[in-house]
Structure 1
Amino acid sequence: MKLAISNIAWTNEEEADVAAKLRELGVRYVEIAPTKRWDDPTKATPEQINEYVEWWRGYGIEIAAFQSMLFARPDLKMFESSELRDEMRQYLADFLRLAGDMGAGRLVFGSPKNRQRGAVSVEEADSIASRFFAELGDIAKQHNTMLCIEPNALQYNCDYVTTADEGARLVRTINSEGIGLHLDTACMALAGDDIGESIRNNGDILKHFHVSAPMLDRVYDRDDVDYRAAAGALKHIGYKGVVSIEMRPGEQGENVKRVVDAISFVQSVFEV
């Protein structure tokens, strides 16, 4: 397993201090929300892209994954109309190209509000989503990356693919080398999934993993998420991918310590 942490855990002003601390702690990978770096990441120039990649490499860190691609586009709805779906597909395709350019091997598709199905039946939603993601999977392969579907809990205003089993079923239906399953400790805990079983049952399609707490709270030794069950199951399946810490930032100036505390905990539990 390889340890990463998402850049949503700190402010842009704290990034250099965090990067230095990551290097000190032996963390060699970072996950990024591109919308935090650029207002419209799909329009970033080759020079801007290279500058940011090289900035992280200066600390011995590679960009391993993307998240929050649709953060700035709440208007894009998968199930509202074919026109919006086409626009959303093209927008995500641009992120797949960007990920390929930046060497990010995984993109996490969470975006619960962008995939609300509303009055659309589960059967119709499955049919639409399967075609939608299959096309994106083909594009992902062209750019040597992978789009990973994240089951998202009801508590995050999601009403489509809310459990690990539902996520796995969709990924298996799509059956694309460019599409994988992403699991998240908080989402599984909130959904009532058996964390260990969900991981063990899907080792063949599990391609990215988030260590998180409900509502993106701090990651530490807490009672509401069984991190040790996750760690044991990942070890059991021989998971070789990225385990990425995901949590929201605290107050300006306190996030370096929050990051250090979370990394120390995850390193001890997940042995990364």
Structure 2
Amino acid sequence: MKLSISNLAWNEDNDTVVYDWMQKLEYQGLEIAPTRLFKANPYDCLDEAKKFMEFLKTTYNLDIVSMQSIWYGKKQSIFGTCEERNYLLEYTKKAIIFAENVKCPNIVFGCPKNRIIKEPEQIEVAIGFFDELGKYALEHNTVIALEPNPRIYNTNFINTTREAIEFCKLVCNKGIKVNFDFGSVLENNENFCFGKSEIQLINHIHISEPYLKVIKKRELHKELKKILLKNDYNGFISIEMNSDLDLRKLKETMKYVKEVFI
């Protein structure tokens, strides 16, 4: 397993401080929210993104290993009008091209407010939507990882890890996998009853708490590690928190996650 951290966990003024910690603690990957780096129209900033990728690699030996918050600021819905859905398809395809340009192998799909389902039969709409995106992602050397979002985030579509896995099976597309979110496990009081074939659907893992609060030390983290090792998970373990915390807490968390998972 390998370590990464989302750049939502600190403010941009502290970027170089955290990158230095990452290098010293042997973190290999940075997870990015594109609008955190490029405020407006991030997917049009391909040249700048490539330069940023090269800067990370040459200066800190870090790779961009995941993207999140890919629809930040967007109001359209998968289950809205055809025009809304087509807009989101094309916008996400731009995100996929962005990911390809920075050699990013994982795109987390969270976006709770953009995925409120109105009728049960609309599941077919979602299957078609993600099937098209999964095929496009594979063509461009990346994967869309579906993240369960509990109801506390005001959505009703894919609230649990089990639902994410079952939907992934329905789409049946190698470009669509699952983002395992520890905060969702906690909020939903889930267990870890997953078979090897289901673990293999997990492309990325967030170590988090509900509402992205500071990560607590938990025996469940050690249980998760055992299951991942048993099932040969070799992807990234990524810290996900919000930036409303003392930087010292962030460094302590980075050390803790390394101690548990490596």
Which residue of the other structure, out of 207, 212, 218, is the alignment partner of 1:211? 207
- How far apart, in 2, do the equivalents of 1:228 and 1:7 lie? 24
TM superposition shift of 1:21: 1.1
Residue 26 of structure 1 aligns to a residue in which SS?
A: coil
Q: Is the 8 A contact 2:200 2:233 kept in 1?
A: no
Aligned to 2:234: 240
Which residue of the other structure, out of 167, 175, 179, is the alignment partner of 1:178? 175
Q: TM-score, normalised by structure 1?
A: 0.92
State the Cα deviation string for residues 16-54 of structure 1 (Å, max 9, x = none).
1110111111111110000111122111142x1122111
Q: Matched residues, percent identical? A: 27
Q: Is the 8 A contact 2:46 2:98 kept in 1?
A: no
- How far apart, in 2, do the equivalents of 1:44 and 1:199 lie? 40
Q: Is the 8 A contact 1:6 1:244 kept in 2?
A: yes
Aligned to 2:243: 249
Aligned to 1:149: 146
- How far apart, in 1, do the equivalents of 2:254 and 2:37 lie? 23
- After superposition, the Cα gap between the structure-2 partners of 1:166 and 1:79, relative to the gap in structure 1 and judged at 3 Å, is same
Q: Name whichever of 214-223 and 100-109 sits farther off.
A: 214-223
Aligned to 1:67: 68
Which residue of the other structure, out of 170, 181, 185, is the alignment partner of 1:188? 185
Which amino acid is 2:179 matched to? H
TM superposition shift of 1:250: 2.3
Which amino acid is 1:265 matched to? Y
Structure 2: state its 5+ residue gaps: none
Aligned to 1:267: 258
Residues 1-272 of structure 1: pairs in structure 2 closer than 5 A: 1-38=1-38, 39-46=40-47, 48-57=48-57, 58-73=59-74, 75-117=75-117, 120-122=118-120, 124-194=121-191, 196-198=192-194, 202-222=198-218, 226-251=220-245, 254-255=246-247, 257-271=248-262
State the Cα deviation string for residues 89-133 of structure 1 (Å, max 9, x = none).
11111000100000110000011111011xx222x2321110000
TM superposition shift of 1:199: 7.1
Residue 197 of structure 1 aligns to a residue in which SS?
A: coil
- How far apart, in 1, do the equivalents of 2:198 and 2:190 lie? 13
Q: Is the 8 A contact 1:63 1:102 kept in 2?
A: yes
Provide the alpha-carbon RMSD of the alignment: 1.4
Q: TM-score, normalised by structure 2?
A: 0.95
TM superposition shift of 1:201: 6.5
- After superposition, the Cα gap between the structure-2 partners of 1:158 and 1:200, relative to the gap in structure 1 and judged at 3 Å, is farther
State the Cα deviation string for residues 217-241 of structure 1 (Å, max 9, x = none).
1113158xx2222222111211001
- How far apart, in 1, do the equivalents of 2:177 and 2:197 lie? 14
- How far apart, in 1, do the equivalents of 2:21 and 2:126 lie? 40
- How far apart, in 2, do the equivalents of 1:104 and 1:3 lie? 15
- After superposition, the Cα gap between the structure-2 partners of 1:40 and 1:199, relative to the gap in structure 1 and judged at 3 Å, is farther
Structure 1: state its 5+ residue gaps: none
TM superposition shift of 1:153: 0.5
Residue 151 of structure 1 aligns to a residue in which SS?
A: coil
